Chain A
Amino acid sequence: MTIAIPKRPLRRRVKKEKKNYNLALTANHLFSGKVVYFTGSGWANLLHDAALSLDGDSLISQAQNYIKNESFVGLELIKIDKLYNQLIPLTTKEKIRLSGPSIIYN
């Protein structure tokens, strides 16, 4: 089973950065579409539980063992900052993916 690699060239984008950021691997659950993060031994809803690595390739290859029937889709490596022991995604997009829409809906 191979992972559907996202179309955008992740590694190239990441390597362009001068600073070496920690990376986490995120995806959406196939059944519900919910946002999940790779923990190193499975998937979790909380970024707090995510496995971090400077090496995106190794995260992707570890994750291969935990994607039975491609039940996690839209895989993406994301850059993570650590602040007071909290994991914080670097981009606004990933912050919104983590905490939900920034507006009050319904």
Chain B
Amino acid sequence: MYQYDAFDHEILQKRIEEFKSQVKRRLSGELSEEEFKPLRLMNGVYLQLHAYMLRIAIPYGTFSSDQMRKFAHIARKYDRGYGHFTTRQNIQYNWPRLTDIPTILEELAEVELHAIQTSGNCIRNTTADQLAGVAKHEIADPRGYAEIIRQWSTFHPEFTYLPRKFKIAITGDTHDRAAIRFHDIGLEIVKNKSQEIGFKVLVGGGLGRTPIIGTVIKEFLPEKHLLSYLEAILRAYNLDGRRDNKYKARIKILVQETGIETYRTTVEQEWKEILKEGRTDLPLNAQIRILEHFTLPKYSHKGVTSYNFSDFYAADSDFARWINHNMHDHKIENYAAVTISLKPLKGIPGDISAEQMDGIASLADLCSLGEIRATHEQNLVFPHVFKDDLPALWRDLEKIGLATANHGLISDIIACPGLDYCALANARSIPIAQEIAQRFDDPERMEEIGELKIKVSGCINACAHHHVGHIGILGVDKKGVEAYQLMLGGSADEKASIGKITGASFDAEEIIDAVEATVDLYLTLRQDNERFIDTYNRVGMAPFKEVLYG
């Protein structure tokens, strides 16, 4: 994992001092709310329905057991004993007092964490594949490049006031778990014919009001030119992106309006200029120094093994179920990565209590070399587990209520905070996710249904990525009453697609029945072991409409 150097510590301290003074001046009335709001947003502080919300960055979703302990401490001391993992690999607290936030940030800085780049019209925290570094078929670990982007983009003077927020995602695997096609810039690590590493660069993807699949702007960008090319894309956007209309200010609109060819030409021209200046790309030794933080750890197993994995797998069907769904292949023989589902029955997607955080931190030390990942699907991952440790890990996770065997299944639902917390929401998301999970609460039924991704957003901002759910649900406001649109056929992976609306919206009870009717129809229509999305792609919308609306 990346360790801060003296410079990182220094800029973080300066930032905290600056924000401390801004809060003080706001509380004394020296700063007006209008003046203060953009400043607090730059430090991850939002005002929600009931309280402030503080969003903390987890760069590329990788963090340590010590950092998790700090999250637990903050939840207990300054919040209401829990935190919420978001769909951008961040964590947020729903109840901090503004007066406490500078102290919280000081505490976070002790473990190299902060809230920078979690809000505002800047380059946001870069997200990455949660299996980065350990995925069996990965070309290269994307996190080193994400760290390079972090260092380049944090407080970049040219990109602090972009037309709108700007999100970058990166993966090193051809199977896209990072939804790179739905980011302002998506990066996929690839190799050229000479086996040199580089990036396929996509631009102009996004969700929200105008969902668009990103377009390839460069098939192969040599590794050494990562920053200069990103800078060229950002410069072209910063110059030409619309600032007159918030809803048309994202890069996706610029790319659509100018056309990818014109936009590419502008970027190439900018890039030439930047290359001439010759100061943006990292010198090779600096790049190597950063990438070295992300080499595979030395696996000399000193875990908690008292089982033989295969014997236990054969003997315990609940364990076998958990393994079948939550375990992932690993680069190293006899090791695995496991998803720790934050979607227990009746739970709130992404929520975790301080006690569970402490439990996870201890288990990460025992079984995952102290390393944890946050996923954009609101789960956690232990990336380095010796297979014979899995039975003991599973039993310990059960004790803290986190051994749900549902990764990728119908109850592994992404839901945004919705109207229970969010000031922008039209409708509640969490109770809908809970009701659906409850309706399908039968392990055998869930297994029969197989992979099915449901995503529930409380408004068109699409924080839960409903457009790319196999089944997507969008909360809408019908004269002050909550209603829900249903969408089918979205996908966030390498076969990206945007879901289509089935028809008229449903009320909060009807939407659960509508989801069940959709799933039941899929089970009757599916051939062989087709997943929901495959069946939908084969048969189209018509039969689903028929069953939903008659």
Contacts and interface: CB of A to CB of B under 8 A. Distances in A.
Interface of A: 4, 28, 30-35, 68-71, 73-74, 90-93, 96-97, 100-103, 105-106
Contacts of B80: 105-106
Given A31-B99, A106-B353, A74 B480 contact: no
Given A69-B29, A96-B420, A101-B50, A30 B348 contact: no
B51 A69 contact: no
A20 B268 CA distance: 59
Nearest to A34: B51
B420 A103 contact: yes
Contacts of B32: 4, 70
B457 to A, nearest CB: 16
Contacts of A96: 49, 419-420, 428
Contacts, number: 84
A73 B33 contact: yes
B27 to A, nearest CB: 7
A93 B49 contact: yes
A101 B420 contact: yes
B483 to A, nearest CB: 11
Main SS of chain A's interface residues?
Answer: loop
Contacts of B81: 106
A73 to B, nearest CB: 5
A31 B49 contact: no
Contacts of A92: 419, 427-428, 480-482
A33 B431 contact: no
A71 to B, nearest CB: 8
B316 interface: no
30 contacts: A4-B33, A30-B26, A30-B27, A30-B33, A31-B27, A32-B97, A32-B98, A32-B99, A33-B48, A35-B49, A69-B27, A69-B29, A73-B33, A73-B47, A74-B423, A92-B419, A92-B427, A92-B428, A92-B480, A92-B481, A93-B419, A93-B480, A96-B420, A101-B420, A102-B431, A103-B348, A103-B430, A105-B82, A105-B94, A106-B80
A68 B348 CA distance: 38
B345 to A, nearest CB: 13
A70 B36 CA distance: 11
A27 B48 CA distance: 11
Given A69-B29, A70-B33, A100-B50, A31 B434 contact: no
A19 B215 CA distance: 50
Contacts of B480: 90-93
A70 B419 contact: no
A102 B420 contact: yes
B50 A34 contact: yes
B2 interface: no
Contacts of B28: 69
Contacts of A30: 26-27, 33, 98
B29 A68 contact: yes
Interface string B24-51: 0011110011100000000000011111
A97 B430 contact: no
A33 B33 contact: no
B388 interface: no
Nearest to A70: B33
B47 A102 contact: no
B481 A33 contact: no
